[in-house]
Structure formats: C-alpha cells, structure tokens
Amino acid sequence: MLSFLAERHAELATLVAQHVVLVLLSTAIAVALGVPLGILLTRRRRWARPALALAGVLQTIPSLALFGFLIPLPILGGIGARTAIVALVLYALLPILRNTYTGILQVDPAVSEAATGLGMTDGQRLRIVELPLALPVILAGVRIAAVVSVGTATIAAAVGAGGLGTYVFRGLATVDTRLILAGAVPAALLALAVDALLAGVEHSRRPGRAALALAGGVVAALLLLAFAGRARPGQPRVVVGSKNFTEQVVLGEVLAALLEDRGLAVDRKLNLGGTSLCHEAVRTGRLDVYVEYSGTALTDILHRRVRGDRRSVLREVREAYAGMGLTVADPLGFNNTFALVMRADTSGRLGLRRMSDLSAHARTLRVGLFGEFLERADGLPGLASTYGFQLGVPPTEMDLGLLYPALDAGRVDLVVGSATDGLIAASDLVVLEDDRHYFPPYDAVPILNSARLADHPGLASAVAALAGRVDEGAMRRMNLAVDGTHRAPAEVAREFLRASGLSAR
C-alpha cells in the first residue's frame, strides 16, 4: 500500500486538490444562495414549507439521475466539474436553507420585539439581532453541508469532474481494493478536517468574525484557482469518454492513446456513470467519442426490439443515430454479449452446456447477476421465457466485480457475465451456448458526435484505423490484465496498440 501511494502521490495530490475545489466551490455557492433564501423565507413564511419541501426532494434525487438531467442543459450541464458542482450545490442547499430559516425563527420573539421596539428597521433587526443570534445554527448547517459534500463529491467522478471518487470508481470497476482505499481514506480524512475546521469556527469566541475570515479565505483561494485555470492553452481537445467498467476504461485508453499518437490533444472523461449518461454527453457534444455496444444502443437507447443479425442491427442503429447527429464507426471486432457462466465441474456434473439445457435444472440453480439484468429489455424475464425455465431460487443481485469470486467460492452455481470478462480466460469456467440466439449482438462500436468531427481533423480516420482490430481474445486478455493482475488500464492499452502494430510507441 505504501509503495502504491508513493508511486501515485502526484496523481493523488491532484485528485485531493480537485476534491477540495469541488467542495469549497459548491459549499460557497450553496451558502451564497441558501442563506439569503432562508432569510427571505422568514419574511415570507407562506413560502417556507413548499421551499423546504422542494429542497428536501432535491436531496432525495439519486446523483446519477440528477447528472442525467443536468448534462444536456446548456449552461449548468456538460461533462466535468460544472455539472458536479451544480449537483453538489443542490444537495448542500437543504441543510443551509433549513438552518438559516429555523435559526432565525428560534431567536426569542421577545428579543426580536424588543429590537423592533427600540426603533430598528427590519434590515437592522436582521443584521444587528437575528443573524448574530442565529449564526451558530446557520454555521452548523454549513458544517453539515460541507461534510456531506466531501462524501458526495466522490460521485463527481461519474461525470468526469475528477476528485477522489476517480480512485473509488476506478477501483470498483477494476476490483482493486487498493485504489478504492486510496480514494476513500483521503476522502474520509478530508471530511474530518472540514468538520474540525468548521467546528472551530462555530465554537470560536467570535464566530461571526471567524466565519467572515474563513469565507474571505475561501473566496480568495477560488479566485486564485480561477485565475490559474485561465492560463491554460486553448488548443481544441478531443474529449474521449467511457462508461464505468474495466473494458470501457481500457477501450477509452486505447482510443485516447491512438489519438495522441496522431498528434491530437485528448481529454479523458473515463469512468462516467452509465450508458444514458455517456449517450447524452456525446449527443450534446460534451464528449467527442466513446465506445457503445450495438445491442445496447438498440434496446436501451432506441428502445427497439432486436430483430435480425449483427449486420442488420448495426445498420438500424447507424440510421437512427444519424438522425440524432451521431456517427457510428465500424465495429472494433468483438461481440460483448451476455454470457451465462458456470464452473466447469458443475457444468460437467449436470451436463449443462447449452442454454436450452437450463429448463431441466433451473429449479435448483443458484444464480448471481447484477441488478440491471433483471430490468433490461434483453434481461432475465425474456431469457426465461425464450428457454422456458423458471428459477426455483430468486437470483442474488451483486456488483459486477463480485460475480466471479462468488462463483469461484461456490456461493452461486451460475452467473450472468459478459463474453469478454477477463476472468473467464483465467479460470476453469464454461460459457453456455446461446443456442436459440436470445441475446442481441453487442458489437463494440465507437460513437462520434458528427458535428464535432470537423473540429478535429484526423479523429474519424484514427477511429477507423481501429476497426476490426480488437477481437474477443484480445479484449479478454486486456480485461484480465486489469482485473486479474491490477495493471493500469493506460499501460495495458498502450501495450495492445504496440503489439497489434497500431502504434510504434
């Protein structure tokens, strides 16, 4: 662990800095919005209940769903820090708003009346009496918001905003505990530090003065960063995206390295939180390219039923995507379909080789799968009816990274994985044959934003060079190198390009 940290201390420092900026900026904005709004509510009491309810509802929106709403928005959205900050502000609003409101209302009414009786205007009463007396409560709200933000900001990695979540997500995707810890432990320490700092302000002898000093420091730091950020050169950069599992990250690195070889400047927005998020991002031009799977595009994005073979599915997707301003490049060369995977000994003992054999054994099989498979149009219900079986034991939902360990440990008999899972190559496992062709083809295809192609000459030809060059075996080996032996995706991608003659470097 120590050598791991020593190796990555520069990257870790950058991520911590990004994380701190996300938290500071979002908390500062939330204070700037929430405190005046909370004051306003004490003056317009009728609005208080609906306003607080709305802020409460905002808090319950899952972050990925919120990102989904935000990405297509013109000013607030996009891929990167802005979207993450907007989401963090929305989450931080409730505690600040509520504490400002209740903090002012809990000022003894007799004290407020005395202030009025002395001849204070509403503004003077607020400034001289109510705000100072409510300050400890307001500060407690800010403290809650900031500490929660430190935790929530890890989600920012899902929209490519960086921060410590980058390690957490990368670690989850590649089943690398060291990476998860390298993200989670500093985040926890950061939360403790923020909590201690704000507790210090809250309990200081002059909390008003301390809060002002802190706010001044934060604003100064942010201005400095904004100024420093501005100095970056404005070369147009190709934005490469990926979803949040190993294969996607590796493919993102492959694309990025290939583009860099050809002299293009690349921004990596890898590990984004899911299919719809990537799709929205490339459709709205926040991403230039990411790799999708033809069957996923057809069923999940276009909401169509699958008919026909690989070629007709691809044609259908290409036509529909053209209408959205998206270009579907030629397939990379592998079909990442779902795979029903068993241990070789179980398969042999039961004589289970094909999916059509399932009807005889489904009553006793223990199945492990990731939650999405229960819901997808091409998921379990359709599979069961196509092959005419019914599970005797409800399937166990688990994270993608836990499927193979569970299978290996004999906790489940069958898992629903992917054809290119690296661990299939590594262990003594059997993939059941889809003898009735239930699963649609999932050819990996780069998706490009057509309008942005002109901005990046050389992008289309670089992506085209990859067509047909990644077969299932190659993909499995790359996945295994990351998942099995914990090598860095960028390194694995670079090695692949060298070995396949696509790159000299």
Partner 1 sequence: MTSTGSTAAALAGVTKRFGGGAPALDGLTLSVAQGEILVLLGTSGSGKTTALKTLNRLVRADSGRVTVLGRDVEGWDPIELRRSIGYVIQEVGLLPHLTVAENVGIVPRLLGWEEPRRAARARELLSLVGLDPDRFGPARPRELSGGERQRAGLARALAADPPLLLMDEPFGALDPLTRRRLQDEFKALQGRLGKTVVLVTHDVPEALRLGDRVAVMHAGRVVQEGTPAEIRDRPQPGFVHDFVAAALP
Q: Which parts of this chain interact with partner 1 (CB under 8 A)?
A: 108, 110-111, 113-121, 124, 128-129, 132-133
Tokens of 153: 């900001």
Q: What is the smallest separation between the CB atom of 39 and partner 1, expressed in angstroms?
A: 17
Q: What is the smallest separation between the CB atom of 117 and partner 1, expressed in angstroms?
A: 4
Q: What is the smallest separation between the CB atom of 127 and partner 1, expressed in angstroms?
A: 11
Q: What is the smallest separation between the CB atom of 110 and partner 1, expressed in angstroms?
A: 4
Question: φ and ψ at 207, to 5 degrees?
Answer: -60, -35
Closer residue to partner 1 in complex, CB, 65/111? 111
- 334 close to 474: Cβ distance less than 8 angstroms: yes
Closer residue to partner 1 in complex, CB, 135/444? 135
Please state, as a whole number, how many other Cβ atoms lie within 10 Å of the Cβ of residue 122: 11
Tokens of 26: 């979002």
Helix axes 246-261, 489-499, angle to 10 degrees: 60
Question: φ and ψ at 291, to 5 degrees?
Answer: -100, 125
Distance CA 362, CA 379 (A): 16
- 416 close to 473: Cβ distance less than 8 angstroms: no
Q: What is the smallest separation between the CB atom of 111 and partner 1, expressed in angstroms?
A: 6
Closer residue to partner 1 in complex, CB, 65/118? 118
Closer residue to partner 1 in complex, CB, 133/374? 133
Closer residue to partner 1 in complex, CB, 14/124? 124
Closer residue to partner 1 in complex, CB, 35/164? 35
**Beta bridge pairs of residue 444:** 293
Q: What is the smallest separation between the CB atom of 135 and partner 1, expressed in angstroms?
A: 9
Closer residue to partner 1 in complex, CB, 115/369? 115
Closer residue to partner 1 in complex, CB, 112/336? 112
Q: What is the smallest separation between the CB atom of 109 and partner 1, expressed in angstroms?
A: 9
Distance CA 293, CA 295 (A): 6
The SS3 assignment for 332 reads coil
Q: What is the smallest separation between the CB atom of 214 and partner 1, expressed in angstroms?
A: 19
What is the arrangement of strands in the sheet containing 396-397, beginning at the earlier edge strand? 396-397, 367-369, 414-418, 338-343, 429-431
Closer residue to partner 1 in complex, CB, 131/251? 131
Radius of gyration of the chain (CA): 27
- 150 close to 26: Cβ distance less than 8 angstroms: no
Q: What is the smallest separation between the CB atom of 130 and partner 1, expressed in angstroms?
A: 10
What is the arrangement of strands in the sheet containing 289-293, beginning at the earlier edge strand? 266-269, 238-241, 289-293, 444-449, 326-328
**Beta bridge pairs of residue 327:** 448
- 366 close to 414: Cβ distance less than 8 angstroms: yes
**Beta bridge pairs of residue 240:** 268, 289
